[in-house]
Amino acid sequence: MFRLFRRHATITDPETLRDALFSAMERDDEKEFMRLCSDNRRLVVDSFELWQKVPAAILDRPQEVTVYVTRLLKIAQYFMSIGEPALLAHLIGNRDDTPADRWRETMSEAHARAVAGDYSQSKDLLLGVLSEMESHEGNAIDQYRSRVYGLLGTNYFSLRDLPNARKYTALALEECRRTADDEGSRTYTENMFLFNSGTEDGDREVATPPVFRFRKEIALAQDLSDEARYDESNDVLEAVLREMEALPAGSQASFRGKLYGLLGLNSFRLRRMADAARYTELALKHCTDDGDQAGVRIYRANIAVIARAQE
């Protein structure tokens, strides 16, 4: 039996389209979000600068303003991933040496240093950004603070400072929950699983050379994914997977769920739905085998999103 595809009504009003996109994000309906972006690509691009003006009705409600800006950022990041960087440029603004400009540049440098293995210098740059943020307030801080905390967490992890790795990752998770950033919440929840994985004595396990190297590489892959460098992230993860599979049975670490889960997320963002489903099913299997109930909840939810996108 052939399935008849319903023709969707064309959206011509910018506010109607914005509200439809926001509604899809609120429902966590990735399929509808991507369909709206695809069907109305030109209208999104033409309207985005207009959408940056926060509606007067919510200007006196800071929490709602934060959610509004976070949703605009998700739209801009998605369009950047499909070859439309102008939206993110509009959202960030032109260079005029504002604090947000300096933070963005410093974060880019910190990320580059982390990728190059200079975790200590990257950490110091990010701590400087946090210190400067203390004397500012506004939407720009909400856009960047969770990413600063998150990258600090992976830097401290790579420096084998697990208490601070967990501290800053927990702060990143708290910030994402406050701003209704569901994708960020999932990412940092998974990072917490990664930093706490293995034996009960996690600090002792992290000193084991193969385990530490694997966990550090997965943290790097997460950073690459956060920068929308999904293929590069998958290359790192697949190299880790090959090395793990060569280890003796029973010696593989318990963070395989995170590894497969990130492979699944990257594949989903690349719209490789068969791979996304396969990897996420493996993530669910390993979390189930390891008794990781929080991971089971996350990957079951991700599988449902992938299934809706394949309908």
pLDDT category of residue 220 using cuts at 50, 70 and 90: confident
Q: Flag whether 4 is in a domain.
A: no
Q: Flag whether 187 is in a domain.
A: no
Interatomic CA distance for residues 145 and 136, integer angstroms: 12
Q: Flag whether 267 is in a domain.
A: yes
Q: Domain boundary at 148, 181, 214, which?
A: 181
Q: Flag whether 171 is in a domain.
A: yes
Q: Convert the pLDDT of each residue in 148-178 to its tens digit.
A: 998 899 899 888 888 999 999 999 989 888 8
Statement to judge: residues 216 and 299 lie in one domain: yes
Question: For position 205, what pLDDT does the model report?
Answer: 43
Statement to judge: residues 138 and 39 lie in one domain: no
CATH of the domain at 250: 1.25.40
Statement to judge: residues 226 and 282 lie in one domain: yes
Q: Domain boundary at 92, 127, 142, which?
A: 92
pLDDT at 131 over 90: no
Q: Flag whether 204 is in a domain.
A: yes
Statement to judge: residues 215 and 292 lie in one domain: yes
CATH of the domain at 144: 1.25.40.10
Q: Flag whether 237 is in a domain.
A: yes
Q: Flag whether 7 is in a domain.
A: no
In the chain, the number of structural domains is 3
Q: Flag whether 191 is in a domain.
A: no
Question: What's the domain range around 282?
Answer: 197-311
Q: How far apart are the first and last CA of the chain?
A: 15
Statement to judge: residues 228 and 276 lie in one domain: yes
Interatomic CA distance for residues 16 and 122, integer angstroms: 42
Query: Average pLDDT in the 34-52 region?
Result: 89
Statement to judge: residues 239 and 300 lie in one domain: yes
Statement to judge: residues 229 and 132 lie in one domain: no
Q: Which residues of 26-59 are buried (b: 16+ CB within 10 A; e: fewer)?
A: eeebbbbbeebbeebeebbeebbeebeeeeeeee
| Residue 233 one-letter amino acid | S
Q: Convert the pLDDT of each residue in 173-212 to its tens digit.
A: 898 888 777 767 777 877 787 777 644 344 444 445 566 6
**Alpha-carbon dihedral 205, 207, 211, 213, rounded to 10 degrees:** 150
Residues 6+ apart with CB under 8 A from 268: 30, 276, 280, 302, 305, 306, 309
